Amino acid sequence: GRKVLIVYAHQEPKSLNGSLKRVAVEELSKQGCSVTVSDLYAMQFEPRATRNDIVGCLHNSEEFNYGVETWEAYKRGGLSSDVIEEQKKVQEADLLIFQFPLYWFSMPAIMKGWIDRVLVQGFAYEFPNCYDSGFLKNKLALFSFTTGGTEETYAKGGISGDIRYLLWPMQHGIMHFCGVKVLAPHICFAPEYVSEEKRKEMLIAWAQRLKTLWKEEPINCSPEWYFK
């Protein structure tokens, strides 16, 4: 069976994000997938990239460079145990689902910290092995998130601009950079401002999409998809 890692960032299990995560676990498990969840808030995941991420001696104790130190530590198996644990989950996964509320046009800080600490050089990429030759090139990713603003707000002519512009740094600058193929995002617009019935419809739509997810083609990972 296929393996799925859900990286989940929400403080409240009863939230729509919590329900979307639960639906994904249930639906994908029904399909025979093995599903792992990294519940970042529940884990009290450390988002800060510090020298604590390196076990043992530093490569250069005179001047600390996080990128260089984690690269060297990865090569010798000297990263902290929580980072190694998450890297194992990523390594085993066929699909990464990121489930989160959009904060300030981006992912929550705890999820960005997961990206900063887990997807280090040597593990996820190594120059010039990035984008189509990134080390995670046999994996798929999907960003599933909720917004505060309505769909009209995030239209091309809307005050917040096309939602695809916001996805460029996350989907392209992180996932595609590491070689991951990206599926179209799943967006629940302004769930706080709709009826209970509408929120239920959002969950049903997500469950329906998950039924045929493995038949989907990844998006065209090029600037045209985001800015056309």
Per domain, the residue ranges of the chain are 3-227
pLDDT value for 60: 96
Q: How confident is the model at residue 228 (pLDDT cuts 50, 70, 90)?
A: confident
69, pLDDT greater than 90: yes
pLDDT-derived band at 12, boundaries 50, 70, 90: very high
pLDDT tens across 73-126, in order?
A: 999 999 999 999 999 999 999 999 999 999 999 999 999 999 999 999 999 999
- Residue 174 above 90 pLDDT? yes
Homologous superfamily in CATH for domain 3-227: Flavodoxin domain (3.40.50.360)
* Whole-number Å distance between alpha carbons of 125 and 209: 30
Q: How confident is the model at residue 20 (pLDDT cuts 50, 70, 90)?
A: very high
As a whole number, mean pLDDT of residues 189-218 equals 97
SS3 31: coil
Please tell me whether the overall predicted TM-score, pTM, comes out greater than 0.85 for this model.
yes
Burial zone of 86 (CB within 10 Å; 0-12 exposed, 13-18 middle, 19+ buried): buried
Tell me what the pLDDT averaged over the chain comes to: 97
Neighbours of 82 (CB within 10 A): 16
Residues of the chain above pLDDT 70, percent: 100
For residue 33, the model assigns a pLDDT of: 98
pLDDT of residue 157: 92
Q: What are phi and psi of 125, to 5 degrees?
A: -165, 170
Rg (CA), the chain: 18
Of 46, 55, 96, whose CA–CA distance to 74 is shortest?
55
Taking phi over 0 as left and psi of -120 to 50 as alpha, with beta for the rest, 108 belongs to beta
Summarize pLDDT for 124-142 with one digit per residue, the tens: 999 999 999 999 999 999 9
DSSP letter, residue 177: G
pLDDT at 220: 94
Backbone angles phi and psi of 115, in degrees to 5: -60, -50
| 3-state SS, residue 110 | helix
pLDDT for 15 equals: 97
Q: What is the pLDDT of residue 161?
A: 96
Tell me phi and psi for residue 189, to 5 degrees: -80, 130
The rounded distance, in Å, linking the Cα atoms of 22 and 16 is: 10
